[in-house]
Structure 1
Amino acid sequence: MSLKPLALFVNHDGQSSRSATTCTYKCGNACFHEVPNASAGEYFGDIVARLNRRGLLKGGAAAVLAVGAASALAACGDDTTDGTDASPSGSPGTGTGFTPVAPNTEDAVVVPEGYEQGVIIRWGDPVIEGAPQFDFEAQTAAAAAQQFGYNCDFAGLLPIEGSPDKFLLVVSHEYSTEPMMFRGYNADAPTREQFDIALASHGLSVVEVHGESGTGKLTPAFGKYNRRITATTEFEVRGPAAGSDLLKTKADPTGTKVLGTLNNCSGGVTPWGTVLSGEENFNQYFGNAETVTDADAAKKLKRYGIKGAASDRKWETFDPRFDLAQEPNEVNRFGYVVEVNPWDASSAPVKHTALGRFKHEAATIHVAGDGSVIAYSGDDERFDYMYKFVSAKKVQSGTGASAMRHNMTILDEGTLYVAKLTGDHADEIDGSGKVPAGGFTGKGQWIPLLETGADGKGKSLVDGMSAEDVAVFTRLAGDKVGATKMDRPEDFEANPKSGKVYVALTNNSNRAKDDNPGVDEANPRKLNKNGQVLEIDDDHTGTEFTWSLLLVCGDPAAADTYFSGFDKSKVSPISCPDNLAFDPYGNLWISTDGNALKSNDGLFSVVLDGDNRGETKQFLTVPKGGETCGPIITEQRVLVCVQHPGEADDATPENASSHWPDGGTAQPRPSVAVVWKKESGRIGM
């Protein structure tokens, strides 16, 4: 294969392709605001230089424990299969044998030759039996609470035991984009009904889907597990912050019950069959931060990107819980990993405060050889941190009620850590992206922040902070211990074949800009607009690891890109890695968000081992204006969530820039798409 990069890709002056509308409603314009992390903690370029001066890096750090072949390793989240063999044999690169899709700007899902596609479920399709069919011109909050929500992100596919080719599809709905949802939307004066519809369009959907013999098609069905979780569903709070004064409000004086979940980004499927979801850009939903006059409280709000007067959404005009002047603690009740039991439609979802509070992109699970559960999570903000939680309890096998009760408490007892990295070639990093002779490599340490006991009570491991403070203001704890400031750490995934852990670092256009932190070996480029992928060889239950950069993304024709030494004339251009997944053969798959190379976002396969390590191929692209989310890769099918199709700076319902998926003059609808190989072939074979 030889791919000729587009000539326009060589220009590195541009930025992410996200529209202004997407930036406003997805993340509250996070990339255009002052960086929340103003801590004086060293970034690791400073640390390495100091250690080198003292001669402390000679001989390297302590060795990282190897992952044994007998390790009990649980695939999670995007790794969920649909009942096919999770560990088929094959040489490195098996499963990536497709003709790559060329970069494009089409208003369609574009797939390789020999593949077919379909749409499983769209915004507004009924989830609950009896729900009305979607009518863009006559939306109601009551209908929206029973229909598939807006802006799908994470997707998990869980086989229904004893029912071949039947599954539960669990999907998160990250945010609502009101200007795209309603004709004539007035951002300065939304209506009460529009507010209520937006609340109902957040959260998660659980829907039964059925396969079709001879294809990879999946069709929604009504079943006993079908459920909508919204921004008004009651959640149980567990862990060190439960019952804390920091979480108490007028509506909930106990500090243990929260209405709703917001900005649910990526997530993971646990070995015990539940779904985790990360509350990410929750800060944007709260108004009147400027009324908080207490200096310490104002500092904490600012560290989480919460400031100013009215919010862009104006939700505080309808519900006092979004008004910091009336309910200053409500914001502290968001920013957690939530857990949903999709097998019990009446169960209360849980917010796990032992895993810390920050902009969780996801929470993905690895099971160590001793049965300990490790939950990895990135804080999706420029110059913020990477975390892991190691459980004190061991996972119990089986699907019985007793095992489920035990496993549903695993994330309530254990230790939360934050990462600090050092590089092996600090003197060679100059911000240009030039690759050191040995590649980008280094070592790391997991610094403990919080220990939670069997009683749910916490013990702070950070001087000057209580356990409740660490659980609720986890970013400040990371600041105090000098964690490494990364380029937007998003999805974490552990490879079910090797146990190595991969992190998508999406981008950071502020790296080495003005007074912001400079470059280091894990974040080696100034004004980083294309992102990179980090590979970690972790002592999963311990505190040490080694790392390398698998990819430094961008145009292969540019000098500042790196594909683990693979021939760059034979790879697809890739920009802004976001969500990660693994296929049954152990290849990494990457979905992108905000492609800065003037092409639609897409899904890419990457070979991790052998002579073709670093070979990157584009499998599909999503429609213009859209983002590729929540990939699931099995032998039979590939699923992606297509988020915010048609969101462009000048797009409105009266001037739609996309008509996907329905075509014609239809309004664009965020949807879950499925791709399969013709004639029942295997993906990538």
Structure 2
Amino acid sequence: MKKRPETAESLPILGHSGRSAMTCAYRCGSACAREAPNTSDNPYFGDILDQVLSRRGFLKLGAAAAIVLYAGARPSPAGAQPARNGGRRSGLTFEPVPPNDLDDMIVPSGYDYNVVVRWGDPILPGAPEFDFENQTAEAQSRQFGYNCDYVAFFPLSRRGRESERALLVVNHEYTNSELMFRDFDPEGTSQEDLERIQIELMAHGISVVEIRRRRQGGYEMVRSRRYNRRITAQTPMELTGPAAGHPWLRTSTDPEGRTVLGCLNNCAGGHTPWGTYLSGEENFNQYFVNAGMVEDRAKRESYERYGFGETLPPFGYRGWERTEERFDLAEEPNEGFRFGYVVEVDPFDPDFTPRKRTALGRFKHEGAETTLSRDGRPVAYMGDDERFDYIYKFVSSRKMAKGNGPRARKHNLTLLDHGTLYVARFSGDSPQQEIDGSGELPSDGAFDGTGEWVPLVSGEKSFVPGMSAAEVLINTRVAADKVGATKMDRPEDIERNPVNGRVYAALTNNTRRGAPGNPGPDEANPRTDNKHGHVLEISEEGDDPAATRFTWKVFLLCGDPDDSSTYFAGFDKSQVSPISSPDNVTFDERGNLWIASDSARALPQNDGFFAVPVEGPERGYLRQFLTVPFGAEACGPRITPDERTIFCAVQHPGEVDGASPDDPASRWPDGEQPRPSVVSVFRQDRGRIGS
């Protein structure tokens, strides 16, 4: 099998900027191997003017395991002083972790980590211990799911500012059959093969687990009878909002169009001010077969816009229709319209029926982080993770009720069913000839401009000619095409900074930008062959999340700092860490931006977490905080309110072409088969993370 490459030159450039074929197949149905589904003639886009290794690396891998430093990496030496440009300092003082390809979590000097929960760990009472060789669907339905992604933290009890007990809520995005089962046969039809599919259905979804603080730092799981819960691809869910009950959402088993089984491909999410959990369904299209056999032409065209295959998935999830007919669109032509929503879950109520909020639109949701407008209405920011798709915002028409009594709770659980859904248009302020795709700054010294939130639908009122409100919410991509939204470079996590009020949007990458037959660079997406991605900084008018106008600038152009096309908010690039493919973001109490990467080795280094100040003399001074094991993606990050712990979801360790249970590419975390896991990282002196 293919082990870790020894040199940068040996790295294959596959799929999403180096992603393995296995990752492409299971993550997004090999979307990168096909043309982007956005083929709209949208006229708007062309006019838009030694030092920091944790002891574990050596203990587990031995002295022979060397860190493979990327040629462009220059972690700042101890005592180095960044350039000053006025303003407050960030408080970030950790020494950056150098790029490496070790099969372990690598954290800064003075830090440690522990595994909180792994794939297969029993989380419900009576669940069996994980047995890789004897998996069953019934066992998996009561165990922690596979490929953990988004992490939310809900305190239960506190001592001072420290959360002694809490609920950890985690998405399970997708499954890797080749890594989960021995002798995997994607075309198999035996009873064992059908049981495997049922195990995978149970490994999708969401886990709710109670955790408690450990004396030595970090957290550990509690097998709580009161709170722990598994939500799977077969859990009944309620469709709510203006599109619920629409004819396109009705099936033979649900003639009312209001109840659906399960959620699929849940990637990032959000947590609301009223204490609920939001989970975004992303690459849901790849689970269904025979979209080309749907008789209704309008439905076929809609499926095409969302990337559904005409017959079978390219590989990975073949055969699911053999166990559940709903995955065959020739038999259930509406089932695919019942996925692609934001799911709301009350983690404090294990009997709560999850609700798919249609008012937030249907697309490949990366997440839905929320904030409150100046007058107290919830606002959710969302990215549609596809090349040349769009950035969205939902503004509720109702104010959040204060308190947590029954009446307030009941009211707040309606907030995401009523409001206005917007899509973003970006305008640059530089001549188009200065946006040449090289990443070179225009003459005014910044990629920046203005923008507007274009309304698509508000309640039962549609703003898109020829489409009803329900049609807009079911075919949101089509509606956004019609109003001329800006085609972006795979918009993923989008969140508002609670300190400076600005919104930060991670654009992961787009290697097709500027390729023949595809949109060229614009000021909001200024590089052709954008394999490393960028981060936008958005300032909404009046510092109000409900505003419909904004200004924006490119904050980071990611990649190797030695690459002339990179940009780190004007900071000295000789001091920053290399980063590729920003994916998820969060903020600490000082307002510093924390970024999780999903580069799939577009640079010859493992993925990880990065921290970067957005204000003051260190604005743009990006440093790598941790790296995840070989073949893994870093998901999260989630910092506890007391800033004593940061959680990282380690997704798909060892996901490398040719890997198998007989020849794994990773043996993290236990030295056996690789198991996706959530870890807590903490300072050994129990101080604040990053400081």
Aligned residue in 1 for 2:526: 524
2:505 paired with 1:503: yes
| Alignment check: 8 A CA contact 1:206 1:342 kept | yes
Output the CA distance in 1 between the equivalents of 2:495 and 2:30. 27
| Alignment check: 8 A CA contact 2:117 2:220 kept | no
Q: Per the alignment, in what secondary structure is the counterpart of residue 339 of structure 1?
A: strand
Q: Displacement, 1:296? A: 2.2
C-alpha distance 632-91 of structure 1, shift in aligned 2 (>3 A) = farther
Output the CA distance in 1 between the equivalents of 2:354 and 2:447. 41
Aligned residue in 1 for 2:41: 40
Output the CA distance in 2 between the equivalents of 1:435 and 1:220. 52
Q: Displacement, 1:310? A: 2.1
Which ranges of structure 1 fall in alignment gaps of 5 or more residues? 1-5, 49-89, 453-457
| Alignment check: 8 A CA contact 1:100 1:618 kept | yes
Per-residue CA distance 1:594-648 (angstroms, 9 max, x = gap): 2411110010001100121111000000001100001112420111100000010
C-alpha distance 11-221 of structure 1, shift in aligned 2 (>3 A) = closer
Output the CA distance in 2 between the equivalents of 1:107 and 1:8. 17
> What letter matches 1:596 in structure 2?
A
Q: Displacement, 1:12? A: 12
Question: Which of 488, 491, 502 is matched with 1:489 structurally?
Answer: 491
Per-residue CA distance 1:323-350 (angstroms, 9 max, x = gap): 0000010000000000000011001000
Aligned residue in 1 for 2:575: 570
Output the CA distance in 2 between the equivalents of 1:307 and 1:522. 31
Using the size of structure 2 for normalisation, the TM-score is 0.89
- What are the equivalent positions in structure 2 for 1:427-442 lying under 5 Å apart? 427=432, 428-436=434-442, 437-442=444-449
Output the CA distance in 1 between the equivalents of 2:457 and 2:515. 33
2:114 paired with 1:109: no
> What letter matches 1:109 in structure 2?
M
State which drifts further: 432-441 or 483-492. Answer: 432-441
Aligned residue in 1 for 2:120: 124
Output the CA distance in 2 between the equivalents of 1:47 and 1:309. 37
Output the CA distance in 1 between the equivalents of 2:89 and 2:259. 48
Q: Displacement, 1:382? A: 0.1
Output the CA distance in 1 between the equivalents of 2:613 and 2:670. 35
Aligned residue in 1 for 2:682: 676
Question: Which of 549, 560, 564 is matched with 2:565 structurally?
Answer: 560
> What letter matches 1:671 in structure 2?
S
Output the CA distance in 2 between the equivalents of 1:186 and 1:214. 44
> What letter matches 2:370 in structure 1?
I
- What are the equivalent positions in structure 2 for 1:234-633 lying under 5 Å apart? 234-311=236-313, 312=315, 313=317, 314-427=319-432, 428-436=434-442, 437-452=444-459, 458-539=460-541, 540-594=545-599, 595-633=601-639
State which drifts further: 395-404 or 261-270. Answer: 395-404
Q: Per the alignment, in what secondary structure is the counterpart of residue 397 of structure 2?
A: strand
2:90 paired with 1:94: yes
C-alpha distance 684-47 of structure 1, shift in aligned 2 (>3 A) = closer
C-alpha distance 326-11 of structure 1, shift in aligned 2 (>3 A) = closer
Aligned residue in 2 for 1:181: 180
Q: Per the alignment, in what secondary structure is the counterpart of residue 19 of structure 2?
A: coil
Q: Per the alignment, in what secondary structure is the counterpart of residue 24 of structure 1?
A: helix
Q: Displacement, 1:16? A: 2.3
| Alignment check: 8 A CA contact 2:266 2:282 kept | yes
| Alignment check: 8 A CA contact 2:448 2:553 kept | yes
| Alignment check: 8 A CA contact 1:120 1:220 kept | no
Per-residue CA distance 1:165-204 (angstroms, 9 max, x = gap): 1000000000111111000000112611011101100000
Q: Displacement, 1:545? A: 0.5
> What letter matches 1:176 in structure 2?
T
C-alpha distance 91-115 of structure 1, shift in aligned 2 (>3 A) = farther
C-alpha distance 669-260 of structure 1, shift in aligned 2 (>3 A) = same
> What letter matches 1:551 in structure 2?
L
Output the CA distance in 2 between the equivalents of 1:203 and 1:166. 23
Output the CA distance in 1 between the equivalents of 2:103 and 2:652. 12
Q: Displacement, 1:316? A: 1.2
Q: Per the alignment, in what secondary structure is the counterpart of residue 675 of structure 1?
A: strand
C-alpha distance 553-47 of structure 1, shift in aligned 2 (>3 A) = closer
Per-residue CA distance 1:376-429 (angstroms, 9 max, x = gap): 100000000000011100011212221111111101111000001100113310
Q: Displacement, 1:45? A: 3.4
Q: Per the alignment, in what secondary structure is the counterpart of residue 568 of structure 2?
A: coil
| Alignment check: 8 A CA contact 1:444 1:545 kept | yes
Which ranges of structure 2 fall in alignment gaps of 5 or more residues? 1-5, 50-85
- What are the equivalent positions in structure 2 for 1:157-196 lying under 5 Å apart? 157-161=153-157, 164-189=163-188, 191-196=193-198
Q: Displacement, 1:214? A: 4.6
| Alignment check: 8 A CA contact 2:286 2:309 kept | no
Q: Displacement, 1:661? A: 0.3
> What letter matches 2:259 in structure 1?
K
> What letter matches 1:413 in structure 2?
H
| Alignment check: 8 A CA contact 1:588 1:608 kept | yes
Output the CA distance in 1 between the equivalents of 2:12 and 2:233. 40
> What letter matches 1:658 in structure 2?
S
Aligned residue in 2 for 1:73: none
Q: Per the alignment, in what secondary structure is the counterpart of residue 422 of structure 2?
A: strand
Output the CA distance in 2 between the equivalents of 1:219 and 1:347. 22
Q: Per the alignment, in what secondary structure is the counterpart of residue 500 of structure 2?
A: coil
Output the CA distance in 2 between the equivalents of 1:214 and 1:115. 11
CA RMSD of aligned residues (A): 1.8
Aligned residue in 2 for 1:20: 21
Q: Displacement, 1:240? A: 1.2
Aligned residue in 2 for 1:53: none
Q: Per the alignment, in what secondary structure is the counterpart of residue 623 of structure 1?
A: coil
Per-residue CA distance 1:562-593 (angstroms, 9 max, x = gap): 00100000000000000001112110000001
Output the CA distance in 1 between the equivalents of 2:352 and 2:638. 26
Question: Which of 144, 147, 151 is matched with 1:151 structurally?
Answer: 147
| Alignment check: 8 A CA contact 2:614 2:620 kept | yes
| Alignment check: 8 A CA contact 2:90 2:615 kept | no
Output the CA distance in 1 between the equivalents of 2:386 and 2:197. 27
> What letter matches 1:255 in structure 2?
G
| Alignment check: 8 A CA contact 1:605 1:616 kept | yes
How many residues in Structure 1 have an aligned counterpart in Structure 2?
Answer: 632
Per-residue CA distance 1:65-91 (angstroms, 9 max, x = gap): xxxxxxxxxxxxxxxxxxxxxxxxx97
Output the CA distance in 2 between the equivalents of 1:446 and 1:604. 30
Output the CA distance in 2 between the equivalents of 1:461 and 1:43. 18
State which drifts further: 273-282 or 426-435. Answer: 426-435
Output the CA distance in 2 between the equivalents of 1:41 and 1:92. 43
Question: Which of 196, 200, 209 is matched with 1:207 structurally?
Answer: 209
C-alpha distance 230-11 of structure 1, shift in aligned 2 (>3 A) = closer
Q: Displacement, 1:289? A: 1.4
C-alpha distance 108-498 of structure 1, shift in aligned 2 (>3 A) = same
Per-residue CA distance 1:204-247 (angstroms, 9 max, x = gap): 00000000235223333324011000000000110111111010
Output the CA distance in 2 between the equivalents of 1:422 and 1:680. 46
| Alignment check: 8 A CA contact 1:153 1:630 kept | yes
C-alpha distance 8-177 of structure 1, shift in aligned 2 (>3 A) = closer
